[in-house]
Structure 1
Amino acid sequence: MTKKMTITSIKKTKGVTPLVMITAYDALFAKLMEPSCDMILVGDSLNMSFAGKADTLSATLEQMIYHTNAVAMGAKDSFIICDMPFGTYINSDEALKNSIKVFQQTPASAVKIEGGEDKAHIIKHLCSNSIAVCGHIGLLPQTVRLEGGYKVKGKTQEEREQLIRDAKAVESAGAFCMVIEGVKADVAKEVADSVNIPVIGIGAGRDVDGQVLVFSDMLGLFEEFTPKFVKKYMDGASLVKSALKSYSDEVKTKEFPQDIHTY
């Protein structure tokens, strides 16, 4: 990217140019991602891909602030969104207090909150207090224990109608864009067409306003499993293992370091 995205420029992409979003958790990878991505999401997915946990629920606000600052150091000209972790927006006052902490302690451009109609009043409260909000509807990772797993949404007429209501409620509350996750592609298209702000998909087909992936998934670094919606753009785990094996072999045979690596 040659110019940092703004809320205005993000909204203007609707129906024009698909948005590219990626997750990042540190300065090193954020710097590599910045030239190719419109937005960087510091996702609570770090709890799984970075910390090895089974789900996102134990991520803390302090963790999110730390990693958001790290990402901002590497991607100084990026539009950065900080995921609000589980338990930090249980009501409007708590949400505002914790979002203010994010804005005061990091250069994040926005926060992200999971939920549709049920969280619209919280989104509205944040926006009315100068907190920019990215919504998140569909499959909600923070409800995984309540729902007994990760379940694709939009399979019934009732779910389709609810998703459209959720999207409209999030938009009306003041969100500048939203993520839609784990939703049947035809339904996700209907949802995106029902609102005037960008709807960014993950596992929601191509007929939305952009895409987001977890970086360790799309780079092939996470080996335990690959979700159906993920395309691996490289076999990162094999490349890293191969490089480490070469390093190990050269150290043991004293092939490394050579004279060019020696003072």
Structure 2
Amino acid sequence: MKKHNRATVADLLALKGKRQLTMLRVTSLEEAEAAEKAGIDMVSVPPALLGPVFREAAPSAFAIPGLEYGDHVSADEYMREAFKVLKAGGDAVYCAASLQTIRRMRDEGIPVCGHVGLIPSKATWTGGFRAVGKTAASAFDVWRQTKALEEAGAFAAEIEVVPSDVAAAISNNTSMLMISMGAGRGCDVQYLFADDVLGSNRDHTPRHAKVYRNFAAEYDRLQRERVAAFSELVEDIRSGVYPEKRHLVGIDEAELRNFLHRLEAER
């Protein structure tokens, strides 16, 4: 197998303020392979996607599997899952759990990416799925959360749907890698979901997303073709067109006569 050099946490942090990094949420091996070939720097992945096959598809991408909030309760559970996904090919873990949990993982050398701003799993505390940080008080709360993550030992934090000027100021005043999800170019990483980039979603497209393809229309076309193909198969079976001789396995005539003779004798 060809060896690939993957970026380390130290490599990524060394790029802070020097160039914008790219990041995608991918949920399939096909998307992971496409991200690799396109030169995407970082990928967020479901833990179940990791493994040797994933690394064959995306050997160079820095992978951050998400430890979904609520799937684990104690710090020990988060620790076990974190070590599991790192062994499976992850490079860091996303964690929206408590600072105590993040600190515990950092103490064990596990690279952790936190989350500030709009945190979907905790959106009830900030008014639902809406922008966060639009007032001085709210913006300062985001800043305090960022510093708390930094002090707990996180190396990065996703900052989601925060005014770009606020996000830029926060990014400029933290050593962490700030990953922008709709928070502007003043951060270190631009992060989008592959589903949004590809136009796969049929529901609401977030304001910060940019759609580059219309996969939903292509899926519709493929579904129409799928139904048409199945319908033609049904008709062929009912009319006797399928199967044809070329679809069948043959047998030597002498062997067939011998078989039929023995079958008749057994009746």
Which residue is 1:48 aligned to?
Answer: none
The answer as to 2:83 corresponding to 1:80 is: no
Residues 1-46 of structure 1 show CA distances to partners (whole Å, capped at 9, x for unaligned) of x84221111101111011100011121210111132101101xxxx
Among candidates 49, 67, 70, match of residue 67 of structure 1: 49
- Once residues 44 and 148 of structure 2 are traced to their aligned partners in structure 1, the CA distance between those partners, rounded to angstroms, is 22
Structure 2 alignment gaps of length 5 or more:
234-245, 248-267
- Once the two structures are overlaid, the 10-residue window that deviates more, 143-152 or 170-179, is 143-152
Give the superposition deviation at 1:218.
1.2
Which residue is 1:167 aligned to?
Answer: 146
TM-score by length of 2: 0.77
CA RMSD in angstroms, aligned pairs only: 2.5
Work out whether residues 110 and 133 of structure 1, in 8 Å CA contact, stay in contact via their aligned partners in 2: yes
Which residue is 1:10 aligned to?
Answer: 12
Residues 166-215 of structure 1 show CA distances to partners (whole Å, capped at 9, x for unaligned) of 11222222222211011111111111111122211011122211211111
Residues 144-171 of structure 1 show CA distances to partners (whole Å, capped at 9, x for unaligned) of 4565631211022221111111112222
TM-score by length of 1: 0.78
Structure 1 alignment gaps of length 5 or more:
43-63, 255-261
The answer as to 2:177 corresponding to 1:198 is: yes
Which residue is 2:166 aligned to?
Answer: 187
Mapping of 1:1-263 within 5 angstroms?
3-35=5-37, 36-42=39-45, 64-69=46-51, 71-88=54-71, 90-104=73-87, 106-114=88-96, 119-144=98-123, 149-245=128-224
Work out whether residues 63 and 91 of structure 2, in 8 Å CA contact, stay in contact via their aligned partners in 1: yes
Query: Structure 1 residues 8, 98: CA separation in 2 closer, same or farther (over 3 Å shift)?
Result: same
Which residue is 2:260 aligned to?
Answer: none
Which one has the largest radius of gyration? 2
Work out whether residues 220 and 232 of structure 1, in 8 Å CA contact, stay in contact via their aligned partners in 2: yes
Give the superposition deviation at 1:245.
3.9
**% same residue:** 28
AA partner of residue 153 (structure 2): G
